[in-house]
Structure formats: structure tokens, C-alpha cells
Structure 1
Amino acid sequence: MKKLFAALVGILALCLLLAFGDYALNRQTSQAGRRTVTIYNWGDYVDPALITKFEKQTGYHVDYETFDSNESMLTKIRQGGTNYDLVIPSEYTVQRMKKEGLVAPLDHRKLPNLRYIDRQFLNRSFDPGNHYSVPYFWGTLGIIYNDEQVNGRDVQHWSQLWNPRLKDNVMLIDSARDVFAMALITQGDSVNTTNYSQLKRAQRHLKRLTPNVKAIIADEMKMYMEQGEAAVGVTYSGDAREMMDINHHLHYVVPSEGSNIWFDNMVIPKAARNKAAAYQFINFMLEPKNAAENARYVGYATPNWKAKQLLPKKVTADRSFYPPKSTMSHLQTYRDLPLHVLGEYNDLFLEFKMFAK
């Protein structure tokens, strides 16, 4: 009987030991989780030195993952599984995430550095009052050209891309909204039109551009333009900056009649596990010195007025990347359109691409 009792005591002790070990392990894992902030961002869209600086300054470990499109990011957020603490979507995606209840409202009292964001970049139509998002970078859609192949005066406006002298010399970004934007603007229509007849008219106008279209591509445009494979490209300001750093014969212009102005923003998903760390990271990135360093590394325009003052004058005085008010007043932000309308954009764009081959 004593042996049985001793065995039972031994088993009980072992169970308690295992339970305590499991508790300690779970507690340790939980504590580690609380010291980690998981960030989901575009590729090469933050200075790695700033990640290291944040980790040293706060004691948090940054788990950094990247995506290549708003749509792929949104799909992963919807599916769950990975609980991201901070995500960097574009403006129309912020609007969509709000509609679907995927983002948490922000407590501005926890974001004292929000005061450094220029007022013109706050309270935009996709998030009035910035209740859910904080501007990260902004930029434009425009024209990049090679001065060895074309006179700059001949490519200041969208309509000039239809000039027969540019035959087989124009590269377009592979994006329905962006390609239709330049056609819609030349017609005097909104880049957010839901009018199918306006879209069809824009498509007919684009088809007249096809003799000039050399290629409809994505990131490869940077390499081709850097190597002088085409005279003109329709691209984003940040990509243009990268190309210009490689090939000094390249120049970027935002047509004064209008274009797209886009915003990438910091948001906290509703499913975030470490909102406190997310707030700390947002504040850290809004610190003027950090924002200026990040802008120098990434090459996009900063919405941080104090950081802008810390950047070289040759950068901030460049009207291609910091356009004058006269041009800014004509820039349009994409809205999150109904799915059936987005389907119309994509279908008409696909037809145009097939026609352009």
C-alpha cells in the first residue's frame, strides 16, 4: 500500500512539474509575444537602419513581412492567421478596410508626433479626421522621359503621349486605374468615374495610343528606362526617383492638368495583438529625424513638414516630386469603387492590352 501511495505521489509530483513547466513556457512565450511588433509593409519601403534603431530604443523585436500589392495584403488580413500589429495600405485600401471592419480606430492622444504631418495631407476623403490612418509617404503618377531621345517640352502633358513621333517608344505601368487615369484626365473626366460610357470612351482613346506603346509592364520598367530602352514611361514618382539616380538623362514630370496623388498610410488592424507597440512604432516613424532619414532611403515624398525641412534643398525644391500648389490642386485621389465597377476597369484594360500587342 505504501508503495502504491508513493507511486501515486510520484505521479502527482511529475504532473505538477510538467504543468508548471508548461505554464512557465507559455508565460515566457506570451512575454516574448508582447515584446514583438509584427509589421506588414511593401518591399524595401523602410530604412533597415531605422528598424534596428527602433529595436534598440524600445526593446521590441520587429517581425517584418512584405507584400507586393494592396490586394494580396488585403486577402491575407481577411484570412487571419497572422496577427499583424501594423500595416501600410494605400488610400483606397484604407477605405475598403474601414468598410469591412478590419482596422482599429486610432487614439490620437497616443500619437503626439502626429503634429508633424502637414495639414494638407490630413483629413483626406478616404479617411476624414484620420480616425484610422496616419500618412506614411505620398507620391504621384507622372511621365518619365529620356532627354537624349525626346525634347522635354514635348512630354509635359498626357495628350502629348499620343504624338506619332513617339511611335513604339512609350512604356505604360501595368495598372488599370493608372492607365485609365491619364486617358480620363485628357477627356476631362474623373479618375473615379463609374460611368461606363466614359470608360468606353477612354478605352477608345487608349486604343489610339497603341502604335506608341512599346510595352505594358510593372517593375521591369525601371531597368528598361535606366538602360534607355524607351523614350518615355508612365510611372510613379518614387520609381522615377530610383531610375533618375541610375540614369541622369531621365526626368520626371507631373502633368499640370492633373494626375493621381496617392498616399500610403500606417494603420493598426483590428486583430492586432500588440497595439501598444504599434503606437510606439508610428510615433517613432513620425519623429522628424527618423522620417527624414526614411525619405532619403526610400525616395518618396514625406508628408512630415518638419522632416521636409531636414531634407536637402535640391530634393524639396524639385517640383517634380514636391509639385507647386497650382498642380497639387488638380491631383485626384483614387476612391474605393464598387467591385462591379472595378471589374469594368479591369476588363476594359485587359481588352486594351490585347489590342496593344
Structure 2
Amino acid sequence: MAVTDPADARLLAALAELGKVAVHELAARVGMDPREAAYRLVALSGSGLPLLVGVESDPQGLRAALAGAFPAAPQTPRPAHGPPLAPYQVPTPGYPAPGAPSGAVPAGPSHPQSGPVPSAGFPPPSAPGYPPPARPGGSGAGVPPQNGPGGARPPGGVPSGPYQVPAPPAGGSGPYQVAGVVSGPYPAPLDPVISTWGPPQTASWARGDQRPAPPAGPRTGKIGDSLAGQGLEGEQLTVQLLEVQDPADYLFGAAGYRLEPGERAVVVHTEVTNKGPIPFVSLPDNYLELLTEDGTPVAKAPVSLTSRPPHKIGVQPGETAGGHTVYVLPESTRVVAVRWSPRPEPDDRSLTWSLED
């Protein structure tokens, strides 16, 4: 597969040099947003390149985060009074119902009674052919319908009918049980940002539309001007265009390179000063481009000159770093400006120096 996108080529070149690296470190090395780098790497991995994009995590930490995001459902409470929940049974004549107190009077010759003796505190069973009423406080689910003392089911099943739904306890602070369904307070809804992106861990997690506003000041200038810029993480930078050597074929040849017929070399010298507290971790000239008269950008060439040292990765707070950037373009191409940007696509943070008088 041929790689034609310059951004993909920079990612793959840096990855080939490092071999194995975290996505955010690779993105910082090439001056790219970590999310964009991850997207490009996954797409390149699926295109057949010998590239594996993986992820590593702390299993215990992830389980703790999931447990906090999805709390366990509340358990069904046991009633505070009465015997344990159990299917309601119709007592047999002559014997007390299960769970009845010892003082219950059984049915016998001296106590004639036409029906079964109910247990203390419970109403007598309904007429034959209908299920007994649900026990107060119980779920009522799973009660086998009975038909008098014999316990036979009526033909055709249990007749349907309206059922009374007990009201929730006063205050509604705790769960209550209605027909076997536990009801109660629901967990608070998840933050849509957290549920979509996960918990924030680094400044690069912040949304792109919430970045700090660009620094005040001019965005254009001439050779020798210093312009205020801003990095991807809000770094406060000052970029100065010191020199443009066009052509610079002799410097290109002195470094051991050879130009093809009809090509010329251009060398641009810039300095970047970090005036803020946040370190700038990208190549200062990663997206330093030449602009032709028709507005077409010319990206830098992947070469460095011995007599003109290139930029190094990173500019610490309070530090000024300089370097030279090399370009190879057709001899007939007219260059009118130099543009610096913190990302591949120019935006309101881009700086431009005109080369025309």
C-alpha cells in the first residue's frame, strides 16, 4: 500500500523510528492531536500495513470506575413484621395454618365450622374457584391458586380481576414492593460527556471547542517579526522568522543531497520562545509551510543540513529554541509567504509572514 497523505507519512516515519510507543507520545512527537493520531493509526492498521494499534489499562482501576458509574440495583427488603415470605397456603380442616400462633383454635367437633380455619391475622380464603387474597406486605407473585380444601385448580385457569396496588410509604425515601417488582429511587443519570469519552485524564482530553482563545496581537508580519502564537495545549509561544534562503541549492548539496533537474532548495530559519508555564512538546517547525502565489502550501522536506541544524522536539517554559527547515520545490514555483500552525489544518492560531516587499 502506498501512503500518500503527508500526515500519515509523518506518523509512520516516527513510528518506524520508535518501534513501540504510546499513541499520545507519538502524537506529541509529530505535533498532532492524540485523537487524530489514534484515528489515523487505526485506519492505517486496517489498510494492510504491518501496524498494530493496542491499548493497555489497569484492570482494577477500570472495574472501580465501572462500579462507580453503574451502581448495583437495590435488594428487595424483607418486611419488618410477620413471618418470612412464602406462598400462601389454605389450611386443612382440623389443623392450624402453617405459621399460626400456638393459641389458634383448630376446627373440631366442639367447634363446628363450615370451612377451614384461617391463620391469625389473615382473612379467610375466598369462595371456591378463586385464589386466596395476597398476604399484606408480600409480593403476591407465585401464589398457587387453590380451590377449597382439596387444592384443585378450577377448569379454565384463574379468573382475572382488578388488583389493588399498595401505596408507597410516606416520604418515598426507600424502595417498596408492588406485585413482585422492586421500585424506588433510581441512580442519578450519567454525565453524557463521561459516558461518551470516559473520565478525563490529561489536558488533551478536553474538547476542541473549549480551548483557550488565541493570544491577542497581529497574525501576520514580515521577515524578522516576532508573532504571538499558541500550541495545542494552550502553550504561550512567540515565533520569529529570522531568514529565508531562496535558493539554497549549495547548502543542500554540501549536506550530501542531490536535487533532481528542475528542482531547487529553500532553507527557512525560525526561533520559538515559550513564554508560558506549559511545556511545548512538539517539533516547532512541524507545520511550518511555504505558500506559493496561488495559495498552495509546500511542506518541509524530511532532510536536515549539517551546516544549518534542524529544530529539536520540545521547548520548555522560558526557553528559546531555533532551527532550520528545508524545502524542495520546482524551480518555477514562486514563494510569497511562510506560515506556521500548531496542527496540520490552518486555523485562527496560524501565523503568516509575507515575503513580498
TM-score range, shorter chain: under 0.3
**TM-score (normalised: structure 1):** 0.22
Higher helix share: 1
Of structures 1 and 2, the larger Rg is shown by: 2
